[in-house]
Structure 1
Amino acid sequence: MITDQEIRLNGMRTLIQALGEVQAERFIALIQRDNFDYTQWQQDLFNEMSVEELSLQAQNHVEENPPQ
């Protein structure tokens, strides 16, 4: 099991890689500023998608972005 610090570092690296430094910081600020319910957001985000569709998208993403 990884530590909380490792999770934070990996999360920030992933955000920066995906969004760039400035947009990653904005994302963090938005979450902290808003009354943000991550669980509800996730449910709404994937509400219309079946498990099979979600799995296929995840597989495609991994194939297009292999871990380094």
Structure 2
Amino acid sequence: MKTETEIRMDGMNALIQALGLVETERFLMAISRERFNYTEWRHTGLPDLPIEELARLANLEAEKNAQLFCEK
């Protein structure tokens, strides 16, 4: 099991890889300005799919992003 620090670092690295450094900073600033309710977002912010399908789609997106990253 990862520590909270490791999870935060992985999350930051994922954001930077997906958005770039500047857009990651903009994202974090946008989140910090808003009152963010994770529980509400979890119920309304994700597609209404079975967890297996959501995981499959997330893996496909990760593979696509990995291919794009390797092409750079």
TM range (shorter): 0.7 to 0.9
Higher relative contact order (CA 8 A, sep 6+): 2
Which residue matches 2:41?
41
Other-structure match for 1:21: 21
The structure with more helix, counted as a fraction of residues: 2
- Indicate the residue corresponding to 1:50 in structure 2: 49
**How far off is 1:54 after superposition?**
2.1
Q: Distance in 1 between matches of 2:40 and 2:57?
A: 20
Which ranges of structure 2 fall in alignment gaps of 5 or more residues? 67-72
Q: TM-score, normalised by structure 2?
A: 0.69
Amino acid at match of 1:43: H
Unmatched runs of 5 consecutive residues or more in structure 1? none
> Which residue in 2 is equivalent to 1:3?
3
- What CA distance in whole angstroms lies between the structure 2 residues aligned with 1:4 and 1:31? 19
Where does structure 1 differ by over 3 angstroms across 4 or more consecutive aligned residues?
none
Q: How many residues in Structure 1 have an aligned counterpart in Structure 2? A: 65
Aligned-residue RMSD, C-alpha: 2.0
Percentage of matched positions with identical amino acids: 45
